[in-house]
Every structure is written in C-alpha cells, then in structure tokens.
A and B are shown apart, each in its own frame.
Chain A
C-alpha cells in the first residue's frame, strides 16, 4: 500500500519536471481593502511550479491577506484586471470567487498559523479530511473512507513522524505536533500548491525547524510548489529559493534567497532606526493597555 503511494509521488515528480517553467500561481492586480484600510494594494505575483517561495514583511504588510486570497478563502476587491489562478484553475476574478471554487480549493493545501484542526476528532480523521475534495461528495459526507485511504492517512502521518498518534484526539497533541498533522492533511490532499500562512509563528524553535524541514522535503521530494509567509528572515533564507517582501500591501522586494542582503531588509522593514522605534512603540502600546485595564475597575467603582 505504501509502495503504491510512493509510485504516485514519482509520477508527480516526472510530470512536474516535464512541466517545469509552468506557473503554479498567477495573481494579477490583486487588491484588498477592509473599510478604509488597504491590506493589499495591487500585487502581481507569479510562482513557478516546484518553487519554494518565502513571503516576508512586517505585521500588517498584507502577507496573510494575500495568501488567503490565493487560496480562495476571501475575495479580492472588485477589479476588472484582478484575477487569481492556481494550477491553471481560476480561483477568483473581478472580486468574485469562481463558481467552482469549492472544488478548485482542493488544488491548494493551506497550512494555518493556528493549525485549524478539528480538535475533538482523531488525528487520523483530521488527516482524512484532506481527501474531501477528491472523493465523491456523498461518501465524504458519510465519513466513509476506504481501507486504502486510511492506509494513505497512516502513511502521511508516518512521514511527519506521528503515526503512533493516529487514534488520539487532535487536542491532546502539542502545537508543533498539530502543525505536522495539518501538513499530513495537506499531503493527503495531494495539492499541487501548498500555501502556509505563518506556519511556525506559534511554535518553539525546535518544532519550527521540524515543520520547515518537512515543508522543504515535500517541495524537494514531491515537487510541490510551496509558498510560505514567515516572520523570521533567517528561516526564509535557509529554506526558500525565492523571497518576496511585502510592505504596506505592495511587493517591495522580489529576489532569489542568495541575492537578499541587509540593505534589502532595511528597505523592506524601514530604516534600522525605525525598527528600533517600532520595538519601543510596541512596548508602549502594551503599557497603555495595562493602564487602560487599571482604569476600568476605577470606573466601575465610581
């Protein structure tokens, strides 16, 4: 059974190798505003099939919004030229999700910062959810998975080193383990593109490294396209071939990882002095929050 799935993986690699140079993601003039707040201000982004791309930028630069639009989880703003295609399938155009978006989402596996597993279901069932886009709707809705599919789920769990946890509830796992289960789910989904939104932001350094190793392995072994947004530039440089930097919802830098230097980062995150200021203002706003909390009981007493 496991051999069968390896065979499948080999076929994938061959197919992608012969197709190298095709685009896995094509995003054209993508914009998104929330009220008066512009999250993404017109981004064009093409990603080659089989590439591993890091999306970096400070908080609020639009990384997350961009990734969620690529996966068809939110709409873009209405815009005649705006469109997003993934694996040659239209995800959305002109601010409207494609009418086949539910089916087409199965070509994009999404890894969330907060893992988004169903905590009361077993680890194995969480992984099997990855098949819902592929198997007939009626069978998925009845939670009817074949023996072969269950074996595939176990094989995926084995690959992320968690097959002994298959029967446990997802809620009993640590954050790093839950993220690996989420990756196993995306393995079963067998999507051409894996989009990961801050997959390691909530993890300790050891778990973070493990998760990035697995994502990198999937990219190299299975030839999947991986786009990952990251807070830590070090990780981006170590694991990705191409680095795209966002600031204020626009692409500010787009380089190969080797070419990225400190000046680019200064340009992306603002001057170094600003960066220090940013740190201070963050702690200031924390203080403000505390004093606001202290003011509340005083008000309540009055």
Chain B
C-alpha cells in the first residue's frame, strides 16, 4: 500500500479516496470525538456543574467580596514573619527532594538501570507523587507533631516523586555517544554517570528544581492549614473566624511573595540554560 503511494505521490489524494485504510481511519476519528463528548457529559453530571448558581447567589458573593476590603494590615509583621517561615519550609522541602531525586531519577531511567531496578523505583515514585502534599502534611503532623517540620517532610516526599520522574525523563533523552566515550576509557559505571550523563542533564535538572521550588512555595502556604506551619495556619484561622479583611491582607502578602520568587527563579533558570 505504502509503496504504491510512494511511487506516485501526485496521485495520493486520488488513492486516499478509494483507500479502505484511510476510510477506516476516518471512522476511528469520529468514534474518538464521540468518546470525548461522552466523557465530558458524564463528568458534568458527576461534578454537579451548575453555572446558574453563580447568577443566583450573585448578591451573596458581592457582599462577601465587600467584606474583604479594605484589607487589614494591622498585624503585617506577623504575616511577613509567617510568610518567611513558609519560604523556609519550601527551601528545605525542595533541597531534600532534589538530593533524593538524583539517585532515584537515575535509577528509574530505562537507559541506565536494568528493568528489575527501574520498575520498582518508578512505582515507588508514582506512589510518592500520587498523594497530595496536604495528605502527607496531615500524616506528618500526627507523626512529628504540629509545626513547620511536618510541612518540610510533606513537601519533601511529594516533590521527590515529581522530580525523580522529571530527572529520569531528562536522563532518557541524553545522547548515548558521550557516555560510550567515557566507557571506552575504562571508567566505572558510576563514572559513566558522573562524567557522561550528569553534565548533559544538569541544565534541565536545575531548571526543574527551581520550578518545583516555585510551586513548593505555593504548596507551603496551604500545608499550614492542617497544622504543618507557615502562613497557612494564619490563613485558616482568619477564614474560620470570618475575618476577611485580615484574610485579604494575608492573600496579598502571599501573592506578592510568590510573584517575586517566581521572577527571581526565572532569572536564575535563564542563567543555566
């Protein structure tokens, strides 16, 4: 079939009209679109989608929005203090996960590790990634008590799962040649990785780590809600107490800090690529 097309490309459109293979492809495509539509309808019902509620309760929402303003910055130094704790949680949560993601990432790469090693490690990393930071935070609060350290551990476990996968994908995309060049000198397996693999993936690894740091700062603002330290504790207390003017002040501080850190890390990332 393909040979025929190759010989006379100018007739390709004619051939495709009578080509049963292509007709079959068209039916297949139609079926796929139908499937997508069915999934959308099914999820609409499950999620109890009700856009009318937005209109129905517009009065309530306007009233609540009004309660947020003007923001109350009376305790601003407390908020900034807790925001700094949040960033500190993110720094250690990210650093620990980067350190662990390096061996786990390398050992879950198909082109480095044998299947009996990378398969179990990958599944383990899947498990770390599958559970949200908040869930880990709740568990670690039980294990190590209330406070920022529980938040660090929660971010650390989840981020290790994420970074190991991203690191492994970078390793699987390397050029094989330089690694073979190192191998041919009589290097050990570890040395192949150190000299042949890591220099190739380092820019990507740094970029992924900084990106995860950004998103860990965002996550660290939430883990406090379950008692794992940082600004989330204050946020949760104020929302529960219907103190929306204070809540608004805290949210503004979060937005400003996260934006500043994003800009900083973007600058850093550009240095390494």
Contacts and interface: CB of A to CB of B under 8 A. Distances in A.
Contact of A118 (B12, B13, B19, B178): B178
Contacts of B188: 102, 132, 137, 140-141
A116 interface: yes
B196 A132 contact: no
A189 B182 CA distance: 11
A133 B185 contact: yes
Given A141-B190, A299-B5, A302-B22, A114 B177 contact: yes
A233 interface: no
Interface string A96-108: 0000001111111
For chain A, what secondary structure do more than half of its interface residues adopt (helix, strand, loop), or is it mixed? helix
Interface stretch (A55-63, A149-157, A221-229, A286-294): A286-294
B185 A291 contact: no
Interface size class of B (residues with CB under 8 A): 20 to 34
B184 interface: yes
A78 interface: no
A32 interface: no
Contacts of B7: 291
For chain B, what secondary structure do more than half of its interface residues adopt (helix, strand, loop), or is it mixed? helix
A109 B184 contact: yes
Nearest to B196: A118
Contacts of B202: 120
B187 A140 contact: yes
Between B6, B17, B186, B187, the greatest number of chain A beta carbons within 10 A of the residue's beta carbon is seen for: B186
B16 interface: yes
B183 interface: yes
Contacts of B189: 102
Nearest to A104: B186
Interface string B164-202: 000000000000011011111111111100111001101
Interface of B: 5-7, 9, 12-13, 16-17, 19, 22, 177-178, 180-191, 194-196, 199-200, 202-203
Interface of A: 71, 73, 102-110, 112, 114-121, 125, 129-134, 137, 140-141, 143, 182, 185, 189, 288, 291-292, 294-295, 298-299, 301-302
Given A132-B195, A143-B195, A298-B16, 6 more contacts: A119-B178, A129-B181, A132-B182, A137-B190, A294-B9, A302-B12
10 contacts: A112-B181, A115-B177, A116-B184, A120-B203, A143-B195, A189-B186, A291-B6, A291-B7, A295-B9, A299-B16
